[in-house]
């Protein structure tokens, strides 16, 4: 494993204001072509030019018109109602050991004069959560409330792979599917414990994204969603409830990254990273994994909670999951998926089983429940 000597790059940009009407229910639907807002290439099946992780957000829709995403224009128009315009300046922090060892003080490079303003914007989000008394809600309701605030936030692939060195990237302006899950979960964990500091939020991001919560180069990232589940469950952040919901074994060898080396910039000319990924895949193949077949998903509806993390299982060779998101439970009992869609933005899908059934190569779902550690 490589050790990280560079500076951790953290880009915090708030995608507009946060609405206070938490009991949102989709009322309008606008189909968004799958090609819109994506960075597709013929070389990557349904994914971006540089995959965020092993999942690659591989979404091939059988019939684009069958999937309609709730995308309320008024939500997008009102994004800037409560807070100042978005800022794109990057925050540069010292090495992560320094940043994360003291959650009360964050030392920011003096050359980045806007850093204090960026952190102040994040604090405004926390103030919104305080006004809403979100900490009094269940973890499920906190997650759904936070996830809903990011409706319309743009999708972008490859956000974690823009630097040759593995750095801690945090952004609230654009997401891939896993980054959306990580960010919402990290914010929810911060609010639930009533620790509203920015360094705590960053600590949660690193804790969720890397093996044992430690950033030690590219190979320490939890690239496969199976690895993400296993590592975060081991440390008590989530619980995999797929088997309890009637899941059956997903019997397949995970080796997509090593057998598609040319699709990962950090693997192409780096033998150390490549061999490390081979070792990681070998270890991961010893971990059992279950999934709920697509035609059985509706049987688990009454047991699903808002904020449950969903992974869409696939029959693509070498892959476990191609997309992720959160359960979005409506007041009428409807079960949907709120996710950063490669179709272009954070959206709320149609009925969960219908949505999964219209994804090419999808065979079902995995369900992971965030733990409430209060």
**Is the pLDDT score of 107 beyond 70?**
no
Average pLDDT of the residues of the chain:
75
**Alpha-carbon distance 339 to 324, whole Å?**
7
More confident residue, 16 or 28: 16
Residue pLDDT, tens place only, 130-164: 999 999 999 999 999 999 988 998 999 988 988 88
Q: Is 268 exposed, middle or buried (0-12, 13-18, 19+ CB in 10 A)?
A: exposed
Give the residue extent of every domain in the chain: 8-370
Q: DSSP string covering 47-63, please?
A: S-SS-SSTTTT--EES-
The H or E element containing residue 127 is helix 115-131
Please write the tens of the pLDDT for every residue from 208-234: 999 999 999 999 999 999 999 999 999
Provide the pLDDT confidence category of residue 173 given band limits of 50, 70 and 90. confident
Predicted confidence at residue 172, as pLDDT, reads 84
State the DSSP string of 253-273: ---HHHHTGGG-HHHHT-HHH
pLDDT at position 334, please? 94
Tokens of 309: 């993390």
29 Cβ neighbours under 8 A, 6+ residues apart: 68, 69, 70, 71, 350
Q: What tens digit of pLDDT does each residue of 277-287 get?
A: 999 999 998 88
C-alpha span between 196 and 94 (Å, rounded): 21
pLDDT at 116: 59
For the chain, give the percent of residues with pLDDT over 70. Answer: 68
Q: Specify whether the CB–CB gap between 148 and 24 falls below 8 A.
A: yes
């Amino acid at each position: 494993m490589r050790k990280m000597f560079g500076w951790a790059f953290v880009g915090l940009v708030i995608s507009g204001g946060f609405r206070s009407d938490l009991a949102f229910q989709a009322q309008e639907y606008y189909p968004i072509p799958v090609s819109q807002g994506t960075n597709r290439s013929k070389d990557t099946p349904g994914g971006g030019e540089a995959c965020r992780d092993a999942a690659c957000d591989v979404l091939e829709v059988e019939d684009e018109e069958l999937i309609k995403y709730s995308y309320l224009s008024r939500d997008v128009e009102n994004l800037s109602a409560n807070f100042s315009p978005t800022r794109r300046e990057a925050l540069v922090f010292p090495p992560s050991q320094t940043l994360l060892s003291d959650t009360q003080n964050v030392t920011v490079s003096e050359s980045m004069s806007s850093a204090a303003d960026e952190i102040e914007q994040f604090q405004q989000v926390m103030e919104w959560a305080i006004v809403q008394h979100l900490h009094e809600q269940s973890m499920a309701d906190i997650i759904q409330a936070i996830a809903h605030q990011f409706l319309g936030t743009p999708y972008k692939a490859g956000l974690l792979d823009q630097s040759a060195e593995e750095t801690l990237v945090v952004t609230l302006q654009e997401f891939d599917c896993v980054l959306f899950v990580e960010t919402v979960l990290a914010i929810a964990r911060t609010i639930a414990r009533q620790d509203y500091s920015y360094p705590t939020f960053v600590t949660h991001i690193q804790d969720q994204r890397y093996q044992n919560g430690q950033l030690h180069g590219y190979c320490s990232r939890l690239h496969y969603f199976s690895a993400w589940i296993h590592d975060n469950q081991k440390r008590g952040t989530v619980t995999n409830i797929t088997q309890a919901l009637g899941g059956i074994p997903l019997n397949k060898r995970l080796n997509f990254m090593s057998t598609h080396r040319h699709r990962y910039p950090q693997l192409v000319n780096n033998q150390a990273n490549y061999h490390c990924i081979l070792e990681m895949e070998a270890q991961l193949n010893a971990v059992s994994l279950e999934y709920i077949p697509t035609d059985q998903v509706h049987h688990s509806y009454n047991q699903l909670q808002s904020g449950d993390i969903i992974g869409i299982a696939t029959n693509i060779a070498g892959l476990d999951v191609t997309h992720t998101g959160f359960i979005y439970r409506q007041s009428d009992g409807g079960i949907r998926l709120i996710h950063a869609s490669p179709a272009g933005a954070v959206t709320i899908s149609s009925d969960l089983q219908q949505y999964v059934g219209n994804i090419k190569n999808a065979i079902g779902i995995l369900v992971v429940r965030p733990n409430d550690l209060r």
